[in-house]
Amino acid sequence: MQEITVAVSGRPMVAWRIAGRKPPVVCVHGAGVSSREFQPFVEVLGRRHDAWTVDLPGFGASAGPRHPLGLRALADALVEWLTAVDLDQVVLLGGSLGCQVAVDAAARHPDRIAGLVLVGPTVDPAARSFLHQLLRWMRNAPHEQASMAPLNLADYRDAGARRIVGTFAEALRDRIEDKLPHVVMPTLVVRGAQDRMVPQEWAEEVTRLLPAGRLAVVEKSGHMVPYRQAHALAGLVTDFLTHAFPAAGAGGMSGQRRSAR
Amino acid sequence: MKASEAVASFDSATGMLRALSRFLAGRDIPALGKFPAAFEPPLSGLLGTLNRLPIAARERAYAVSGWAEAIPQRRVGDVRSEALAEWVTGHYPRRRYPVIFIGSANGALIHLAAALDAAWLPQTLLLPVRRRGITPDDPRGDLAAVGESGRALLAANPDLVLHHMHDPNQDRLMIAGMTYFRIKWRRLPAAYRRFIRDHLVPGGLLVCVDCTLSWPTTRIDDRYVFQFGALGDATPEEYRQGGPRVADLLSRYGAPVRRWDPPAADGESPEAEWGLDPALLDDLRAFTGQHRLDTQLLRFDTPQRLSPAVADLYRSWYADRGLPTGRLLVESFLLLEPWWTLRTGSVPYWTVFGTEASRASLEAYLDASDPYDEIRILLFNHGTESIGLADAQDWRRTAARARKIGVLTGVDAVAYPRDFASFVRSHRELSRIRTRYPLPLPLDAAGAAATLSARDDILWRPVH
């Protein structure tokens, strides 16, 4: 896996990549966490596709401003980063809050985004409060793998408490349901069957609101499907890419545009 | 004896009666209408825990639950036809109905009745009777053990016909400790006559539902027939002559035999569960002639036949109301939700059972229909891996034909077909669907009759 660093708004943004077939799939992490949880998934997906995972500004290895960025600014930073690494017509694969960032980017930059995969999209409007989300998070915890905890702790250390709280508050403010009807590109919605953060009825509502959405449920998984069921998710994404972008699969390797560090 | 104690609770006719009568009272059906909605979360948890028991323990629990519902043989002669009929009519809210259906049980018919604001009076009910010491694979033993009880029932109820049914394939667990007595009224019971007189809107429509499905039977007495096997994936020939699928079933369940030895069939009778005994139609004709009631006949050859017709009727009804028409709800046996069907704007497609034959019919319907955005499939759990049962993955593949959302609703795919919690879970999950619509005014019966009778495979005409 290559580590690739480029400057976005004067600050380094770090991503990891395994080169493969087009279209490129860019994984966007959730609130407080980073690419760490996506790397096992990228290793699986990278066997067949051009797979990327990027740290948003202020998370993981990417530098950020002192003040946490708002959701829109995170989405703009993501699109700027796409330009910086010369990526176009990408499929954004969001996890949790990463879905909100991906949807915001897709709604405002439809010409840059070819498709979306929304894994465990937040925030369910029926539970849009800190307390509701905390309770759901606690109910979900037993369905996650214990080996993910050290990664989460490292991510929280990198991001800092202020940024985590600020991003979480931003996630609660964001109304993803208002943007979904304007996401015109093919979109796969994925839910872990035991995900307590994203109940089935909300995952269905997300799919229904998307003009070209389709829902898949992954068995034996909580909220963090990419970490818990990397192979199952990679299979779903491959099927999605095959059906949504039949011509793209024949394309060659997308070129390496930045020197590896 | 009280009719409510004699009639099986987990039977098609009872489940359909509960579903429709609750719908007509403006209510849905939490936990199959057996428990209040507040009990759903703890029940779901408790029953879900039972799913973790070993298969043998779960099968035993199924058999015991059936046995607990059945009546002792010595009390069969105390059952009174009139009490049964009053028990049926007692389900319905005391008001007038523009249409009353009478006759065969059918899940699609329940949705048709819901659309027309109509009541339905079944011709057939199931009376489960306890008996011991007979294995499911011994039909002759079953007949010998309970034949006298059957005669006692008929002696006390001259208006009934008894279809003694024995299906070691699909009812394998249930018949371990009990016998299925399906009774059919060959004359209109007084309670039905009163209900029609008092609750049919003046000028309203009486419709006799005639499913003409028949099955080979052995005649035991004038009003007593023995039916071996029942509608499902296995054919009457497989039941009687055996074959690889029968041998495989018996081997899987550790039976000492590889084929069954039922009493020889000596004719065909209306199928015990679904078929109409035409004697009722004759009596109905006399009654309606006397009271000058507008009476019609709705006839089809097999229960599944009505499902695509009613699904299309609902779809065009939604289109006429300006609602989306892309949501399909596939129901199974007695898992029926007419209230949530309309509240969620779902097109109902009822399947008789979870068999490959039912799945093939659904696939054929989907082939012939405009694509659905959402397909939800409910699966009834009868505890047995019977001949030709499609597994949860098969049904999931069919659900995946939806453009957006294709899911099994309330199904634990690992536990199916021994998932105790599905009876509770399917309602819970349906009631959580977020896009909902107000309940509409009823459909006009004449329009529905015209739509259905336009199909080649359904007859809807006046009774002369």
Residues B328 and B194 in one domain: no
Looking at residue A129, its pLDDT comes to 94
Which residues of chain B, if any, have pLDDT below 70?
Answer: none
Look at residue B451 and tell me if it is in a domain: no
Q: How far is B363 from chain A (nearest CA, A)?
A: 20
Beta-bridge partner residues of A116:
A92, A187
Do residue B404 and residue A214 have CB atoms under 8 angstroms apart? yes
Nearest-neighbour CA in chain B from A245: distance (Å): 16
Q: Nearest-CA distance from B261 to chain A in Å?
A: 44
Amino acid (one-letter) located at B379: L
Residue B16's nearest CA partner among B156, B176, B161, B211 is B211
Structural domain for B365, as ranges: 305-443
Residue contact A208–B374, C-beta within 8 A: yes
Cα B205 to Cα B101: distance, rounded to the nearest angstrom: 8
CA distance B33 to B43: 13
| Contact across the interface for B404 and A199, Cβ inside 8 Å | no
Query: B439 φ, ψ to 5°?
Result: -70, 135
Full domain range(s) for residue A235? 2-246
Domain-located, residue A258: no
CB contact under 8 A, B429 and A200: yes
**Main-chain dihedrals φ then ψ at residue A88, nearest 5 degrees:** -145, 160
Range A123-132, long-range pairs (CB < 8 A, 24+ positions): A123/A171, A123/A172, A123/A174, A123/A176, A124/A197, A124/A198, A124/A199, A124/A202, A125/A175, A125/A177, A125/A202, A126/A199, A126/A202, A128/A172, A129/A172, A130/A168, A130/A172
- The pLDDT score that the predictor gives to residue A58 is 94
Q: Is residue B455 part of a domain?
A: no
Query: What residues of chain B have any CB closer than 8 angstroms to a CB in chain A?
Result: 373-374, 403-407, 413, 429, 432-435
In this prediction, residues A123-138 reach a mean pLDDT of 95
Strand, coil or helix: B12: helix
SS3 category, A94 = strand
CATH number of the domain bearing residue A92: 3.40.50.1820
Q: What is the pLDDT of residue A141?
A: 93
- Judge whether B110 lies within some domain: yes
Q: Are residues B256 and B383 in the same domain?
A: no
**3-class SS of residue B231:** coil
With an 8 Å Cβ cutoff, are A205 and B434 in contact? yes
Give the number of domains in chain A. Answer: 1
Query: Helices A161-173 and A130-140 meet at what angle, rounded to 10?
Result: 110
* Domain final position from B300, B332, B354: B300
- In sequence order, the 6+-apart residues with CB closer than 8 A to the CB of A259 are none
Nearest to A29 by CA among A223, A198, A253: A223
CB A226 within 8 A of CB A28: no
Residue B321 sits in the same domain as residue B226? no
- Please report whether residue B459 resides in a domain: no
Instruction: Report chain B residues whose CB lies below 8 A from the CB of A207.
Output: 404-405
Q: Collapse the DSSP code of B268 into the 3-class scheme (helix H, G, I; strand E, B; otherwise coil) and give the result.
A: strand
> CB distance from A177 to chain B under 8 Å?
no
Could you tell me where the beta strands, DSSP code E, fall in B131-247? Answer: 160-166, 178-185, 200-211, 214-221, 224-228
**Tens digits of residue pLDDT in A157-175:** 898 899 999 999 999 999 9
* pLDDT beyond 80 at A258: no
pLDDT at B49: 84
- As for how many domains chain B has, the answer is 2
Within the 199-258 window of chain A, which residues sit less than 8 Å (CB to CB) from chain B? 199-202, 204-205, 207-208, 210, 213-215, 217, 219
For residue range A2-45, list pLDDT tens digits in order. Answer: 999 999 999 999 999 999 999 999 999 998 899 998 999 999 99
**What percent of chain A is predicted at pLDDT more than 90?**
83
User: d(Cα A136, Cα A138) in Å, to the nearest integer?
Assistant: 5
Which of B243, B268, B300 is at the close of a domain? B300
**Nearest CA-CA distance, residue A146 and chain B, Å:** 24
pLDDT greater than 70 at residue A261? no
Same domain, B278 and B231: yes
- Cis peptide preceding B136, ω within 30 of 0: no
Chain A partners within 8 Å of B435 (Cβ): 205, 208
> What DSSP string runs through B37-49?
GGGHHHHHHHHHH
The complex's ipTM? 0.85
Residue B454 lies in a domain: no
The secondary structure element, H or E, covering residue B397 is: helix B392-399
* Within a domain: A257: no
Domain stop point among B272, B300, B328: B300
Structure tokens belonging to residue B54: 């070993």
Residue A248: what pLDDT? Answer: 62
Would B275 be classed as within a structural domain? yes
For residue A30, being part of any structural domain is answered with yes
3-state helix, strand, coil split of chain A in percent (to 5) is 45, 20, 35
- For residue B42, what pLDDT is reported? 86
Mutate to test the interface with A, among B404, B411, B435 (most CBs of A within 10 A): B404
- Work out the angle at residue B136's Cα, subtended by the Cα atoms of residues B131 and B141, and round it to the nearest 5 degrees: 60
**How close A208 comes to chain B (CA, Å)?**
7
Closest to A201 (Cβ–Cβ): which among B374, B403, B433? B433
Residues B100 and B129 in one domain: yes
Q: Is the pLDDT of residue A257 over 50?
A: no
> Is B248 found in the same domain as B123?
yes
pLDDT by residue (tens digit) across A65-88? 989 999 999 999 999 999 999 999
In angstroms, the separation between the Cα of residue A237 and the nearest Cα of chain B is 15
From chain B, pick out residues whose CB is under 8 angstroms from the CB of A219. Answer: 413
Q: Which strands, in side-by-side order, build the sheet including B160-166?
A: B124-130, B178-185, B160-166, B224-228, B214-221, B267-270
